[in-house]
């Protein structure tokens, strides 16, 4: 890029943006959908080339056949992959190793396309982990790195609620944290990125300790909602009844750190005190067998239902009927399921930790201190009983939760991303490529 480049002029006409998103799936869910939604939204203002895993090729081709991929989104498939291992824990480890190899060889593909296109800017979107530094800073254009997160760890004093496989995974993850802190590639990525974007304040503080500078560091959650999604969940909230048993919801990938076991123990204590409720847990994951056994052990078969997952209007209606979102998760980067529940007027009862502890405050929900599993179960019991006894407060908190997340719109996301891109371009002459 020439030094005489005029950022304001080029920006007004849109830029050529290279997006790194190993997880980017226009049809699937989870982090792949997060990557795709970011690409789709950024493409409303810029021409986008997205480098993604070959694992996503089939769904991209299906989406293109249905006209779901904008003409100004160009897909570059990079790397290799094998079918997922049937064991969920081994599949998670497989995805990590696959990503490391994908990222290691990414620069060759990026340089080839940079030579053809001449990108104005590169942007790393997924995976959203800080532990692997992007090599795109080595291109002759500014890099926006993030939003990244994944700083929080499961306290080992809570490890008793985990299955043996989950404890092993947490041990490996903590070891990778130690390695990541010492990684020259991570520190180089931070030092050379035009803008480093942290998904939450917890991550921003951590990245500043690794070298991110105040003028370089931004805090910005990747979670946002289209106006149609916001309206659908708002309408669904009219399904709530002011009387009858409490309807309680939890959803997502059921890994041990989500704290569902602690939630069940808290509800068992509340049941013993006379609480009438239904707890709907939606989603699959490696800890589902442990959760199923816990439901039986606590004699909650009549109060707890386990669903493999809900989609579309069925999912919106389930949230709309629910009074409380109960998921005392210990770590989140961008708690999308929590935010969807809040949009539907659910009162969040969450652990006072990580991103959800920042998102929820006393005006819209209840945060549970994370001292011991027994203490958390007892505090959850108290919180649920309190909300059940004061349905007016329950309704008021739900409305506040809804209003809080209604600000997370696609337009606000676009505005913030474009502001970050402008920041990256104005740093062009102060960085050495």
Contact between 134 and 105 under an 8 Å Cβ cutoff? The reply is no
Residues, the chain, total? 433
Give Cα separations from 269 to 111, 131, 302, 379, 393 (angstroms): 59, 39, 15, 10, 22
Q: Is the pLDDT of residue 204 over 50?
A: yes
* Position 13 pLDDT exceeds 70: no
| DSSP code per residue over 36-52 | HHHHHHHTTTSEEEEEE
Residue 214 three-state SS: coil
pLDDT in tens, 322-347: 999 999 999 888 888 999 999 999 99
Mean pLDDT on 175-198: 92
Q: What pLDDT, on the 0 to 100 scale, is given for residue 3?
A: 29
Residue that has been written with the tokens 């399904």 in this structure: 239
CB 157 within 8 A of CB 179: no
Core vs surface per residue 291-323: b (16+ CB within 10 A) or e:
beebbeebebeebbebeeebeeeebbbbbbbbb
pLDDT surpasses 50 at 139: yes
Tens of pLDDT along 377-396? 999 999 999 999 999 999 99
Q: Which two tokens stand for residue 35?
A: 């990557």
Q: What is the mean pLDDT of residues 393-400?
A: 95
Quickly list H helices, 183-323.
184-192, 201-209, 227-236, 260-272, 288-297, 312-321
Residues 83-103: tens digit of each pLDDT: 888 877 777 788 888 899 999
Q: Tell me the two tokens of residue 195.
A: 């803008």
Position 94 scores a pLDDT of 84
Half-sphere exposure of 337 (CA within 13 A, CB side): 27
Task: Output the pLDDT for position 4.
Answer: 31
Q: Is the pLDDT of residue 225 over 50?
A: yes
Where does 7-224+409-430 sit in CATH, by number?
A: 3.40.50.2000
- CA neighbor of 146 nearest in space, from 34, 2, 12, 15: 34
Residues 6 or more apart whose CB falls under 8 angstroms from that of 144 comprise 121, 122, 123, 124, 193, 194, 195, 197, 420, 421, 424
Report how far apart the first and last C-alpha atoms of the chain are (Å, whole number).
11
Mean pLDDT lowest among 236-240, 385-389, 418-422: 236-240
Where in the sequence of the chain do the CATH 3.40.50.2000 domains occur?
7-224+409-430, 227-405
Residue 29's pLDDT band, with cuts at 50, 70 and 90, is: low
Q: Does position 33 have pLDDT exceeding 50, yes or no?
A: yes
Share of the chain above pLDDT 90, in %: 67
What Rg, from alpha-carbon coordinates, does the chain have? 22
Q: What is the mean pLDDT of the chain?
A: 89
Whether 430 shows a pLDDT value over 70: the answer reads: no
Q: Provide the pLDDT for residue 156.
A: 87
Average pLDDT, integer, range 45-64: 93
Count the Cβ atoms, other than its own, within 10 Å of residue 214.
7
Is residue 432 over pLDDT 80? no
pLDDT confidence band for 270 (50 / 70 / 90): very high
Helix (H) or strand (E) segment spanning residue 143: strand 143-148
Residue 312 has pLDDT above 60, yes or no: yes
Q: What is the mean pLDDT of residues 63-88?
A: 89
pLDDT band at 201 (very low <50, low <70, confident <90, very high): very high
Could you give the percent of the chain with pLDDT greater than 70?
A: 95
Among all chains, which residue has been given the structure tokens 């919180």?
383
- 125's CB contacts (< 8 A; 6+ apart) are 19, 20, 21, 24, 34, 35, 38, 39, 222
Instruction: Tell me the two tokens of residue 271.
Output: 């049941």
Cα distances from 51 to residues 74, 113, 138, 170, 387, in angstroms, run: 9, 10, 16, 29, 47
pLDDT at site 5: 33
Q: HEC profile for 379-408? A: HHHHHHHHHHHCHHHHHHHHHHHHHHHCCC
Per-residue pLDDT at 355 exceeds 60: yes
Looking at domain 227-405, which of 3.40.50.2000, 3.40.630.30, 3.40.50.300, 1.10.10.10 is its CATH number?
3.40.50.2000
């Amino acid at each position: 890029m020439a030094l005489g480049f005029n950022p304001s002029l080029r920006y007004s006409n849109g830029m050529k943006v290279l997006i790194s998103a190993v997880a980017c799936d226009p049809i699937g869910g989870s982090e792949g959908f997060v990557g795709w939604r970011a690409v789709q939204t950024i493409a409303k203002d810029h021409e986008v080339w997205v480098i993604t895993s070959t694992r996503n090729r089939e769904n991209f081709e299906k989406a293109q056949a249905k006209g779901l991929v904008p003409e100004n989104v160009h897909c570059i498939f990079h790397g290799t992959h094998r079918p997922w291992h049937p064991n969920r824990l081994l599949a998670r480890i497989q995805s990590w190793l696959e990503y490391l190899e994908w990222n290691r060889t990414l620069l060759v593909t990026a340089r080839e396309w940079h030579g053809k296109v001449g990108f104005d800017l590169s942007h790393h979107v997924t995976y959203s982990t800080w532990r692997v530094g992007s090599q795109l800073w080595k291109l002759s254009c500014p890099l926006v790195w993030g939003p990244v997160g994944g700083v929080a760890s499961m306290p080992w004093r809570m490890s008793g609620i985990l299955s043996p496989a989950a404890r092993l995974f947490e041990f490996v993850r903590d070891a990778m944290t130690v390695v990541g802190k010492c990684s020259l590639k991570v520190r180089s990525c931070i030092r050379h990125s035009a803008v480093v974007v942290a998904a939450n304040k917890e991550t921003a503080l951590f990245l500043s300790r690794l070298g991110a500078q105040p003028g370089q560091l931004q805090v910005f959650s990747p979670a946002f909602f289209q106006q149609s999604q916001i309206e659908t969940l708002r309408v669904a909230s009219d399904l709530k009844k002011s009387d009858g048993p409490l309807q309680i919801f939890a959803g997502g990938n059921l890994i041990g750190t989500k704290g569902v076991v602690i939630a069940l123990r808290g509800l068992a204590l509340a049941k013993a005190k006379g609480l009438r409720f239904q707890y709907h847990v939606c989603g699959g994951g490696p800890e589902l067998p442990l959760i199923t056994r816990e439901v039986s052990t606590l004699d909650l078969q009549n109060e707890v239902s386990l669903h493999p997952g809900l989609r579309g209007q069925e999912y919106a209606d389930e949230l709309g009927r629910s009074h409380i979102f109960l998921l005392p998760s210990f770590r989140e980067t961008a708690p999308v399921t929590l935010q969807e529940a809040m949009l539907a007027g659910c009162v969040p009862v969450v652990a006072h930790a990580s991103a959800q502890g920042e998102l929820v405050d006393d005006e819209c929900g209840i945060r549970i201190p994370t001292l011991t599993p027994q203490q958390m179960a007892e505090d959850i019991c108290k919180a649920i009983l309190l909300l059940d006894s004061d349905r007016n407060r329950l309704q008021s908190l739900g409305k506040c939760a809804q209003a809080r997340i209604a600000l997370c719109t696609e337009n606000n996301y676009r505005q913030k991303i474009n502001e970050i891109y402008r920041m990256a371009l104005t740093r062009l002459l102060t960085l050495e490529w």
